[in-house]
Each structure stands twice: as C-alpha cells, then as structure tokens.
C-alpha cells in the first residue's frame, strides 16, 4: 500500500507537532529532555557496571597468570614444610613470584583484623641479644666461635644455617647471593656512585661478615656452615628479623616468653640514627615499650627472631604489622591491618626508614617514600663556597652532618653561617646525582639489578635535593640537578 501524500512542511525534532499548542510543545520538549536524561543515566550505570566487570576480570586474570608460574620447587617444599611445622596460613593467601623475588598475595577478599598467618613459637629461629647469653645445647659445637662474636645478627645467621637440616626448606626461600643488592655485596665499581658515608657503613658490614666467617673456617665449621648460606642467612636477619622480649629455652617447645611482648621489625630504629642491627633492635624494642604501644610485664631477655612465612611479607611505608604473641598457646599471629581485595599484595612497614637505610639494610629503595629524609655530610672548608671560618664554627658545635627534616634552624650557629653551610652542602651533593649521569651509572655498574636499585636511589635523592633547594632558595641548583 502506498503512503498517503505529504502535505505541508515535514516535521523536524525542534518543531511542535502538527496541530499542537505552544504549551503542548513545551511539554513535549520537557518530556524529550527527561527521556534523554534517563538514557544518559542508564548509560552511565551500564558503563560503571561494565567497568566493574572488566576490573573483576582483570583481577581474576592476574591471579591466574601469577598462579600459573607460582609453584617453583622451593615454594612447594616450603609450603609442605610449613604444614609439617604446624605453621598455618590463610587459604586465601598465595606465595607468588615478584620482580626480584616473591610476594604474598590474597586470592579472596580479606577484612581488617582477619588472621593471615599463625606460627607456633617452636617454628621460630631465635637467639638472645645479650652478648653473655648462654649457648643452647644443640649449638654446643659453635661455642668457641660464639663467645668471640657477640653480635646477635651474626649469631642468628650461623644458628639458622647450622640447623639447616631442620630449616632447609625455609633457607631455600632466602634470596640467592646474586639477588642481594645491599651495598655490602657491591663491588668497588658500584660503590663509587654512593656518598662516602654510605660506602663506609657498607664496608664495615662486609668486613664484619668476612671476619666472622674466617673464624668459622678456623674452627673447622665451614662444612657445617657454608659461606654462601651464611651470607644469605645474614641478609635475611638484617632485613627481616624481629626483636622483642622473650626467651630461648634449650627445648624448643616455646621460643618466646610468657607475659607482654614488645615486637618490631629489626632495624626500624635506623630512623633514630642507629646503624647496627643489634643496637637498632634493642633501641626499637625499648622505644615500643616506652611509647605505651605494648605493656611489658615479664623480665624476659631481648631476643632476635626469624619468623617463617610472616617474614615473606614485603615492605611498604604505612602501618606496621599487626603481629601479636599469644603466650598461653605459644603462637604468633599476624592479622590484616586493613581490607584487601583479590589480587592485592599483603604488605606492612618494616619501620620508618629513609632511602639510605632501606638501601643499606634491605638492598632496595621505595619510590615516594613518606619516611624519606635528606642527610648530607658537610663538605671540606674551601669547597663549594664553604669558608674555613664557618667550618670551624660547625666543628666547635660538633656538626658534621645536616639533616633536612625541619630542625636545621635549631642548630647552634649563626643564621649567616647556616645559610652558607646549607648551600655548600646541597651543591656538593648535587654533583653526585645529576640526571645526565644516570646513563653512565647504568653502564658501569656490575649488574643490572644493582643498576636498577642505584638509579632508583639517585632519583629519590634528586627529589629531596630539589625540595631542599627550593626551601633554602638555592633554586639555580635545580637546573644543575636536572642537567
């Protein structure tokens, strides 16, 4: 059938319907706008739903991809060993490969306060931190060497390796030597790119470890404690051990004491200027008790402990671990400090550490670290515009280092002297981390891993230097840093 002939002008959307009044035309437009708004709202809801679905798909895909390569032999043995040692981890957790090692990832949602790991005290490896602490019977063969080396960090490393028949699967999870990027493992060609203050600390740790192992060899213990395992174990102790009040009885039925417990990641007192792992552990435990974070009721000795599975959790600035010891049942319990979604990595803070402390102790640097601060050695008189007069004034006040944490104005020197030394110190430091030198650094270091860590450290140092240059109005320095 043919359509009837059209008479008059054709209707367009912005025209009133034929025969409609002006009021009807307004009503139609309002109705049209309402329908349009509903369509837009419906589209937004559909788009949001689609985004959420895509995010869920991405999360599930990431978990599947990680799970497909997660079960290396070391991890499989470690999981079996944990089961036999009554170490319980939530079924929602997986140990997965990371860029440089492993990480702990949740496969299902975690709520805040939910139990992550439960570790019986007998599965911890601990030593008393007192130099005069008696040796337990199972370590009797180490007695002459033990008396000669009072550092608990070195003792704990030796104890772990000496008992490797019991803790072998845990030792297999430690970083291999070629993936330890702490500067005590660096070669001279790598150390040239660090400030002398950091080089000296790295060399001191290396010398202490070399001396400790030479004595192990002289005591005929090199077979019982191979050097590569000793160094790997020491890195684990220096970077992941915990300290607190407890006891190390001869029977390992309970590794830590009843009563209150003060606990923290060993070395977290580095922010207080403590550089020794042992002193940091003692200072940190005392600090936590003094702060009221934990009420200590026992008179137990200080101990340094490795806590398998708990120490698989990586560092990120923020909340410290929610780690408690139940003395009645002899159990360590690690709980989630916040809610986690599927695919997220479980993390906690090893302590408020700046980039220098993280590099020296752990061998990594965190980008945009909220705890980062700039500590610089004062240059020699006559360099970078620092006069002998001002250098002498600083020496009389015992000032060899500047910390740009907001306290410089309180130093007992004149304002003119402070301005001069700050500018000279910043100019001295800027020459060591120019952006234009990054390519040379990457080319000359001994390994790509060290190169990645060193370039990250240089990048974070530049951020701090630029912030300090802006604050102290040495703004021409920013162009020099970015050159």
pLDDT tens, residue by residue, 73-92: 999 999 999 999 999 999 99
pLDDT over 90 (residue 396): yes
Confidence of residue 250 (pLDDT cuts 50, 70, 90): very low
Residue 62 is predicted with a pLDDT of 54
Q: CA 152, CA 165: separation in Å to the nearest integer?
A: 21
Angle (CA) 34 39 43, round 5°: 145
Residue 401 is predicted with a pLDDT of 94
Q: What is the mean pLDDT of residues 104-117?
A: 96
Angle (CA) 68 311 289, round 5°: 155
Confidence of residue 389 (pLDDT cuts 50, 70, 90): very high
Distance of CA 402 to the CA centre of its chain: 25
Angle (CA) 270 272 275, round 5°: 40
Residue 133 is predicted with a pLDDT of 87
What are the residues whose beta carbons fall under 8 Å from the beta carbon of 400, sequence distance 6 or more? 377, 378, 394
pLDDT over 50 (residue 17): no
Residue 280 is predicted with a pLDDT of 44
Mean of the per-residue pLDDT values for the chain? 81
pLDDT over 60 (residue 231): yes
- Indicate the angle between helix axes 355-362 and 227-240, nearest 10 degrees: 150
Structure-token match 């009554």, residue found: 86
Confidence of residue 33 (pLDDT cuts 50, 70, 90): low
For 186-213, the pLDDT digits (tens) are: 999 999 999 999 999 999 999 999 999 9
Contact 365, 198 (CB under 8 A): no
Residue 152 is predicted with a pLDDT of 94
Structure-token match 């192990």, residue found: 216
- The SS3 of residue 311 is helix
Residue 159 is predicted with a pLDDT of 97
Residue 482 is predicted with a pLDDT of 85
Q: Which residue has the higher pLDDT, 367 or 280?
A: 367
Q: What are phi and psi of 369, to 5 degrees?
A: -70, 120
Q: CA 183, CA 304: separation in Å to the nearest integer?
A: 23
Contact 11, 17 (CB under 8 A): yes
For 271-318, the pLDDT digits (tens) are: 333 334 444 444 444 333 222 222 222 345 688 999 999 999 999 999
Q: What is the mean pLDDT of residues 108-116?
A: 96
E strands in 12-101: 88-89, 93-97
Q: Which residue has the higher pLDDT, 414 or 47?
A: 414
CA distances to 137, 155, 168, 216, 235 from 148, in Å: 18, 10, 26, 10, 21
* Residue 382 half-sphere exposure toward CB, CA atoms < 13 A: 0
């Amino acid at each position: 059938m043919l359509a009837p002939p059209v008479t008059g002008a054709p209707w367009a959307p912005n025209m009133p319907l034929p025969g409609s009044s002006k009021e009807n035309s307004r009503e139609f437009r309002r109705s049209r706008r309402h329908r349009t708004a509903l369509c837009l709202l419906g589209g937004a809801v559909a788009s949001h739903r689609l985004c959420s679905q895509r995010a869920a798909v991405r999360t599930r895909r990431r978990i599947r991809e990680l799970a497909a390569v997660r079960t290396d032999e070391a991890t499989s043995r470690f999981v079996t060993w944990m089961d036999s040692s009554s170490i319980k981890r939530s079924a929602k957790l997986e140990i997965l490969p990371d860029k440089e090692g492993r990480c702990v990832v949740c496969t299902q949602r975690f709520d805040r306060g939910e139990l992550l790991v439960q570790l019986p005290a007998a599965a911890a490896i601990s030593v008393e931190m007192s130099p005069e602490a008696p040796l337990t019977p199972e370590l009797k063969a180490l007695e002459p060497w033990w008396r000669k080396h009072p550092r608990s960090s070195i003792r704990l490393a030796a104890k772990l390796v000496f008992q490797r028949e019991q803790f072998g699967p845990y030792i297999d999870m430690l970083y291999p030597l070629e993936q330890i990027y702490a500067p005590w493992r660096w070669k001279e060609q790598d150390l040239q790119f660090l400030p002398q203050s950091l080089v000296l600390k790295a060399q001191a740790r290396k010398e202490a470890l070399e001396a400790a192992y030479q004595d192990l060899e002289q005591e005929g213990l090199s077979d019982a404690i191979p050097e590569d395992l000793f160094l790997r174990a020491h890195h684990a102790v220096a970077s992941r051990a915990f300290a607190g009040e407890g006891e190390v009885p001869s029977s390992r039925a309970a590794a830590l004491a009843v009563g209150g417990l003060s606990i923290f990641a060993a070395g977290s007192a580095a922010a207080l200027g403590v550089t020794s792992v042992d002193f940091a552990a003692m200072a940190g435990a005392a600090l936590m008790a003094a702060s009221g974070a934990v009420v200590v009721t026992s008179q137990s000795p200080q101990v340094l402990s490795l806590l398998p599975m708990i120490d698989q959790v990586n560092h990120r600035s923020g909340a410290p671990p929610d780690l408690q010891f139940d003395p009645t049942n002899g159990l360590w319990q690690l709980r989630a400090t916040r809610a986690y979604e599927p695919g997220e990595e479980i993390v906690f803070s090893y302590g408020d550490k700046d980039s220098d402390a993280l590099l020296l102790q752990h061998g990594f640097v965190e980008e945009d670290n909220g705890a980062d601060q700039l500590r610089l050695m004062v240059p020699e008189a006559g360099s970078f515009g620092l006069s002998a007069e001002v250098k002498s004034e600083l020496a009389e006040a015992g000032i060899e280092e500047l910390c740009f944490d907001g306290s410089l104005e309180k130093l007992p020197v004149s304002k003119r002297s402070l301005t001069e030394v700050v500018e000279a110190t910043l100019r001295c430091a800027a020459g060591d981390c120019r952006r234009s030198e990054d390519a040379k650094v990457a080319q000359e270091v001994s390994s790509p891993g060290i190169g990645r860590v060193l370039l990250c450290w240089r990048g974070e140092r530049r951020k701090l230097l630029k912030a300090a240059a802006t604050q102290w109005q040495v703004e021409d320095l920013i162009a020099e840093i970015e050159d």
